[in-house]
Amino acid sequence: MNRYSFSLTTFAPNGKLLQIEHALAAVGNGSTSVGIKAANGVVIATEKKTGSSLIDVSSLEHMVMVCDSIGMVYSGMGPDFRVLVNSARKAAQKYKRMYMEDPPVRILVKELASIMQEFTQSGGVRPFGVSLLIAGVDDRGPNLYQVDPSGSYFPWKATAIGKNMVNSKTFLEKRFDSDIDLEDAVYTAILTLKEGFEGQMTEQSIDVGVISTIPTTQADGEPKMPTFQRLTPAEIKDYLSNVA
Amino acid sequence: MSIMEYNGSAVVAMKGNNCVAIAADKRLGQRQMTIDTDFQKVFPITERTYVGLAGLATDVKTLHDRFRMRVNLYKHREERVIEPKTFANLVSHMLYEHRFGSYFVEPVIAGLDKDDQPFICNMDNIGCIDLADNFIVSGTAGENLYGTCESLWEPGLEPEELFETISQALLNAVDRDSMSGWGAVVHIITPSGVITRELKSRMD
């Protein structure tokens, strides 16, 4: 057994922290998730793979809202994701309490990445076994970030994480264009997931979340900033029927 | 005598047409004795947001330092300049953190947001924000300022007119208050820049 791989706080001679490598392997075993930054919004999507047909898929929470303008999805270990969702929501509300506005996506990402990094340098803990895709809209427009177990974060125009990330990213590279409309981006995200999907893809087996940069007009004429939306199964079914 | 009246102060802010003005007196006293006639009470937070602090002088200095630290951290972390409304909420939060051992200061905030819209507000010593459409007053000469501002202010004043209005409002109010006066500073914040002028007043 490699003597550098059990203690997180020990560097191996090759400069790596083996626990983080193992965490990334855990991510690589998880269901694929994709994200695409469109000109007028961001879409994130994930496979909801279940072992058995008896599972009530509609109550699985893979795609979550962190605050009104930010949503998150993961690949890797579900329970670790839940802990990070709580931390993210709390961090967002803490920011809101101080500044009365939602945090910019880059600020929330930094905060989450910082939490994940802590677990690579403290005693007696292990890194989180998830990579996150964080999608949101702020003063800079649409944002898509990936955060890894090490605490590294990357801004992406389009990306995939999890089991099928290599093929998915190749697929996205061919199809991505920075002027892509949000609607087209949703189709592309679903197509990308479909590429690596084992079996029949239905509206119950994927989760899609979108956030747009275009304000909507309320009944009283005041513009309202859009919030992060999880697409309903009916909406996903619509997209799927046009894709198939 | 209340601790808020120990050093003496007068701070006022007004909204104009695409501009805001903020002004304060320059006296620093210890009860009746005047010990400084050039004491700064209005501080720039960003190029377009100013904060005026009325109340206990030591808290004025300390809070200005703390605001500067928080705003610099914000600027570096967020890679953008803080808006007046956001700064006001930050100040409110910082003051309420000391709810049961408060700073003896009543801040006044004036600035232009990124769309050049004027913003003014003040708060009590524990951070209750009071937004206003016309003018904001604070300090030992506060009640006097309410009177002068109410009579002199009108909506839609241009920068030069706003300067005259706020100067007259401040000077006549502090002349009726023994604890404030000894000169004044006025800042007019416009989309193209800030005009700062010193006023000569009765030096008593």
Block residue for tokens 């030096």 = B203
A47-51, A113-117, A132-136, A236-240: the lowest-pLDDT one: A47-51
pLDDT at A61: 82
Amino acid at B137: V
Which residue is closest to B76 within chain A, CA to CA?
Answer: A107
Closest CA of chain B from A100, distance in Å: 6
Q: Chain B residues with CB inside 8 Å of A107's CB?
A: 77-78
Closest CA of chain B from A6, distance in Å: 35
Mean pLDDT of B174-181: 96
CA angle A175, A176, A182 (to 5 degrees): 110
Mean pLDDT of B38-52: 97
Q: What number of other Cβ atoms are within 10 A of residue B162's Cβ? A: 24
Burial A199-232 (b: 16+ CB within 10 A, else e): eebebbbbbbbbbbbeeeeeeeeeeeebbbebbe
| CB contact B70 to A (< 8 Å) | no
CB contact under 8 A, A99 and B90: yes
CB contact under 8 A, A107 and B93: no
CB contact under 8 A, B85 and A100: yes
Amino acid at A190: I
Residue A1 banded pLDDT, cuts 50, 70, 90 = low
Q: Chain A residues with CB inside 8 Å of B131's CB?
A: none
CB contact under 8 A, B90 and A98: yes
Residue A243 banded pLDDT, cuts 50, 70, 90 = confident
Residue A181 has pLDDT above 70, yes or no: yes
pLDDT at A53: 82
pLDDT at A6: 61
pLDDT at A74: 97
Tokens of B181: 């006066």
Residue A222 has pLDDT above 70, yes or no: yes
pLDDT at A58: 77
CB contact under 8 A, A107 and B80: no
ipTM, two decimals, is 0.84
pLDDT at A5: 58
Bridge pairing between strands B118-123 and B129-131: antiparallel
**What distance separates the 2 farthest-apart alpha carbons in chain B?**
46
**A98: closest CA among B182, B187, B88, B139?**
B88
Mean pLDDT of A94-111: 96
How many contacts, defined by CB atoms under 8 Å, are there between A and B? 18
**What percentage of chain A carries pLDDT values higher than 90?**
73
Task: Supply φ then ψ for residue A189, to 5 degrees.
Answer: -65, -45
Considering only the beta carbons, identify the residue of B77, B85, B93 that sits closest to A107: B77
Mean pLDDT of B46-50: 97
- Asked whether the beta carbons of A90 and A115 are under 8 A apart, the reply is no
- A197-221 per-position pLDDT tens digit: 988 888 889 999 999 999 888 878 7
Q: Which of A94, A95, A97, A99 to mutate to test the interface with B (most CBs of B within 10 A)?
A: A99
Q: How much is the mean pLDDT over chain B?
A: 96
**What percentage of chain B carries pLDDT values higher than 90?**
99
**B170: closest CA among B193, B156, B188?**
B188
Distance CA B124, CA A40 (A): 42
Closest CA of chain B from A220, distance in Å: 22
**Which residues have C-beta within 8 Å of that of residue A191, sequence separation ≥ 6?**
A171, A175, A243
Q: How much is the mean pLDDT over chain A?
A: 92
| CB contact B129 to A (< 8 Å) | no
pLDDT at A4: 58
A76 forms beta bridges with A130
Q: What is the DSSP letter of A101?
A: S
| CB contact B93 to A (< 8 Å) | yes
Sheet strands side by side (includes B20-25): B135-139, B10-15, B20-25, B184-190, B193-199
> Higher confidence at residue A61 or residue A149?
A149
Q: How far is CA B116 from the centre of its chain?
A: 19
CB contact under 8 A, B80 and A139: yes
Q: How far is CA B108 from CA A56, A196, B104, B139, in A?
A: 56, 59, 13, 10
Mean pLDDT of A57-79: 92
Task: Supply φ then ψ for residue A132, to 5 degrees.
Answer: -110, 145
Considering only the beta carbons, identify the residue of B79, B80, B89 that sits closest to A99: B89
Tokens of A206: 């994927």
Residue A55 banded pLDDT, cuts 50, 70, 90 = confident
> Higher confidence at residue A178 or residue A29?
A29
